[in-house]
Structure 1
Amino acid sequence: MYFGSPQNFNDPYDCALSAKVTDLTHEQLARIRKRLPLPAGLGPTDEEIIKLLQSTSQDTITNTIQNTLRNRGVCCFSEKNDNLLMWSHYASQGAGMCLEFDTGGPTFSLLHKVVYSPEFPVIDLERMLCNEDYDQITEMYCTKSQDWSYEQEWRLLHKEAGTRYQYADKELTGVYFGSRTTAEIRVVVGNLARMLNPTDDLWLGELSDASFRLNFTRIP
């Protein structure tokens, strides 16, 4: 599988949005003071610290996102195999194929479900400063506009874009060929898939005569 750079994706907002930072309350600042070496008494007031943290954090988050964006790779998956738009956009107008995986194995243990929202994600400043497990970058990589919700997408992230990763043979469980896939492609890919995993199912997509949908028939 290939981990591409989001800079080359078809959604201009994909992984390129700017996060909004939550407003800090005095109670939250008190908790941050306990975790971070902020001076008490002789230091700045709470209001000054809040203003400084929010101003700095917005710039820091934006810079971090842009720096990470240049390097981190994303591999995209979907819960569906029959969406006509996705066959047109991502499978050579129906001449390509869709791979089916068993996501219960180690390769897919870090899958992230994409969240579809009308708003940019909000970064919790207190959690970001005090919780090492809070990964705001993952949240940024896995939030998209509601307009893309039909994709029902999941993502794997890799620290380096352009990486190719070899999944286990048994994790590939099926190949769905588009309605415009050539017989030659079906034979070559089908033989290779069953050589790697004899239990793989092969399916041929055909346009329905009664509705706007793809019907898949199993290839013996």
Structure 2
Amino acid sequence: MIAYKYRSGRGQKDAQGNDIFERDINMLAKDTIYVPTVAQLNDPTEALVDDRIFEMQLELFKKLGAKDSINMVRERYIEFYEGIIRDSGIYSLSKKIDNELMWAYYASGHSGYAIIFDTDVLARSFENGKWGGMYEIDVNYSKKLPKFDISRLRRENDVTVALSCLVGNKSEAWEHENEHRLVFDKGGKSLTIDYRAIKGFVFGCRMKDEDIDYVMKLFSGRDLDYYKIVLKDNTYKLLLQELKDRYPDADKYCPNKVEYDIEKLIEWDRYSDGVGYKYRPFVEAAMSEVSKEPFLTGISHFVVTDDGKYPHILIWAKVDQDGYVRPMKSFEYDIINGKLVRK
């Protein structure tokens, strides 16, 4: 899914006196996003629920003689709400790019920009990370507070049931945001993302040309899409106008390239009775591609099999993201009609 992150234009300062535009865009150029906690968001009613039904249910079960169990459930709820929800991280995106209120509120009165994200790639950035769970939630908008009852805590393997109630609801006054959330167990920190999650930028209709150029130059070599908001004549409607990349001949962006010894890897494969040597050109091409993947620190080994429909290459690589060494990641390719095809 494609979603958008609206950001401020030049001129606004943060609490430390830094220009927010330069701070944010330079952080993003390093493939990093900041995930605030629930308490840091601009809506004071975040995570507010009506839990009266929950309390009535507990009292009923207590009268039925389940006092000890009920105390445990209440403690679990308090721990979940106060100890987890308030500290959880929310990365907010919008599914709409043509809402004038979003441009006015979150993009400095149309002088800022919006980042175009592929949410599938963005979410995969956090697989097996040290951040605990990461969940995707579409926000529901209502006139009334969501009702929290005991059933929200009973489904052990589906945390989203409780999360969607606690951090997936907002007042109808916010409905224009059309929000899609990435919810983390912990917030208030910066996280590295897969650079391929960034698909492009949409610039506000009042964004200065020199700031547009600043962004394009900073993100040159990434094959991104660029647009600018324009006003449709004689209407309130906002339209997207495609812009040409001003740096089309820039070197291809590559944030990471791990070193590896192809001779040793081939030798190890032959020692293990592998058949990789028979497909060496394809192995080398696959290795070269894998070596540029984000978060990798090294290529461990590979296996080639040719007893199926197509010869198959499996490469194992070491991963270190934000200081956390993850389990090895695998990359798979088939050799089909003389071409390398990634699976």
Q: Percent identity?
A: 24
Moved more, 13-22 or 138-147: 13-22
Moved more, 87-96 or 102-111: 102-111
Q: Deviations over 1:68-96 (max 9, x none)?
A: 34421110011101111011111111111
Candidates 205, 208, 226, aligned match of 1:182? 208
- 1:15: which partner in 2? 47
Contact 1:116 1:144 in 2 (8 A): yes
2-side partners of 1:61 and 1:18: how far apart?
Answer: 13
Instruction: Decide which structure has greater helix share.
Output: 1
Contact 1:7 1:69 in 2 (8 A): no
1-side partners of 2:188 and 2:219: how far apart?
Answer: 23
Relative distance call for 1:7 and 1:204 in structure 2 (3 A) is same
- 1:213: which partner in 2? 237
1-side partners of 2:34 and 2:57: how far apart?
Answer: 40
Structure 1 length-normalised TM = 0.76
Larger relative CO (CA 8 A, sep 6+): 1 or 2?
1
Matches for 1:1-220 after TM superposition, within 5 Å: 1-22=33-54, 24=57, 45-46=63-64, 49=66, 53=70, 61-62=77-78, 64-105=80-121, 106-107=124-125, 110-126=135-151, 128-129=153-154, 131-135=155-159, 136-195=162-221, 197-198=222-223, 200-220=224-244
Instruction: Report the 3-state secondary structure (helix = DSSP H, G, I; strand = E; otherwise coil) of the residue aligned with 1:104.
Output: helix
Instruction: Report the 3-state secondary structure (helix = DSSP H, G, I; strand = E; otherwise coil) of the residue aligned with 1:94.
Output: coil
Instruction: Report the 3-state secondary structure (helix = DSSP H, G, I; strand = E; otherwise coil) of the residue aligned with 2:200.
Output: strand
Aligned length: 199
Instruction: Decide which structure has greater strand share.
Output: 2
Q: Which has the larger radius of gyration?
A: 2
1-side partners of 2:107 and 2:203: how far apart?
Answer: 9
Stretches of structure 1 that go unaligned for 5 or more consecutive residues are 30-43
1-side partners of 2:86 and 2:43: how far apart?
Answer: 16
Relative distance call for 1:127 and 1:93 in structure 2 (3 A) is closer
Contact 1:19 1:120 in 2 (8 A): no
Q: Deviations over 1:23-46 (max 9, x none)?
A: 549xx96xxxxxxxxxxxxxx751
Stretches of structure 2 that go unaligned for 5 or more consecutive residues are 1-32, 127-133, 245-343
